[in-house]
Amino acid sequence: MVYFAPDAKATYEAIGLKGFWMGYFASRAAPLGPVPAEVVTATFFNFHPAMVTRAIPDAWQLATPDQIIAARLDHADRTLRNLLGDERLSSPELSEAAELARRAAEAAMPQGRPLFAAYTALPWPQVSHLVLWHAATLLREHRGDGHVAALVHADVTPCQAHMLAMASGMTTRPVLDLSRRWAETDWDEARDTLQQRGWLDADSALTSAGVMARQQIEDHTDRLAEQPLRALSEAQLSRLIEVASQLGQHIIAAGGIPFPNPMGLPDRL
C-alpha cells in the first residue's frame, strides 16, 4: 500500500533520495541498516540485480536508514488517513485487529528470516492504525522470507518464479518488465528450464506437473507462515481476517492498490 501511494516518490525525495525505485528499495531495506546491494538482492529475491544496484548503496549516502524509516512511518500514517479516513482508523474494530495482529507478529520466530528479523528490531508505533500496519508489515515479511525459502527449496530462480506467476494468470509480462527488469535472455532461459522440467508446455502454459509444482510451493509457503498465527485462537484469527479483509477492500475501493500488480494480488480479498 505505502509503495503505491501517489506521494511515495515525493516522500523520499524530500529526505534526499532520488526517484521512486530508490525510495522503494531503501525504505523496505532500511531496517537491515546500510547493507550492500547484494544483501538487498538476496533478501528481496525477485528483482534483477542491476535494478537494485541503481539504488543501493547510493541511497545510504543520501539519507540514513533511521531517516528513511521515520519518513516511511509518516508516509504510512498519511496514506492510511487518506484511504480510510480518521473515523474508520479510530474505530474499536481496528483497535481490536491491531491488538490481534501484534500478538501474532510478536510470536513469530525470526530464525532464518533476515528481513523479518530486521523489522522486529524497530519500535512499535503508538497509535492503533500504525500498530496494525506495522504488524501487517512484520507478518508480510515473515511470509515473504518463507516464500523465498520455499522457492529456493524447489530450485526455482526469481525469473522462473515470475514465469510461473504469469502462466498462472496472476500477473502480466508488461507489469513485470516495468517492475522487475529482467532481460529477454533471462526470460528465455527461465522458460526453457521450466519447459525442460515439464512445468510449462510449448506455449508457456502450465502443464499438470507445473500446476502441481506451483501448488506445492504455495502450500510450503503457507505451512512456513502458520507459526505466528498459532498464537491466536480460531475465533481470534477469524476475527482478524474479517476486519483486515474489510479494511483491505476499503483500501482497494479507494484506489490504494493498482490492478494488475506485480504481486498478483486479486482485487477481491
**pLDDT tens digits in sequence order for the chain, 269 residues long:** 788 888 999 999 999 999 999 999 999 999 999 999 999 999 999 999 999 999 999 999 999 999 999 999 999 999 999 999 999 999 999 999 999 999 999 999 999 999 999 999 999 999 999 999 999 999 999 999 999 999 999 999 999 999 999 999 999 999 999 999 999 999 999 999 999 999 999 999 999 999 999 999 999 999 999 999 999 999 999 999 999 999 999 999 988 887 777 776 776 65
pLDDT at 260: 72
- pTM of the model as a whole: 0.94
**CA separation, residue 39 to residues 34, 44, 73, 157 (Å):** 10, 8, 23, 16
pLDDT at 269: 55
Q: Distance between CA 10 and CA 202 in Å, rounded?
A: 44
The full set of domain ranges for the chain reads: 1-89, 90-269
Contacts of 111 (CB under 8 A, 6+ apart): 117
Q: Which cell numbers hold the place of 204?
A: 508457456
pLDDT at 256: 87
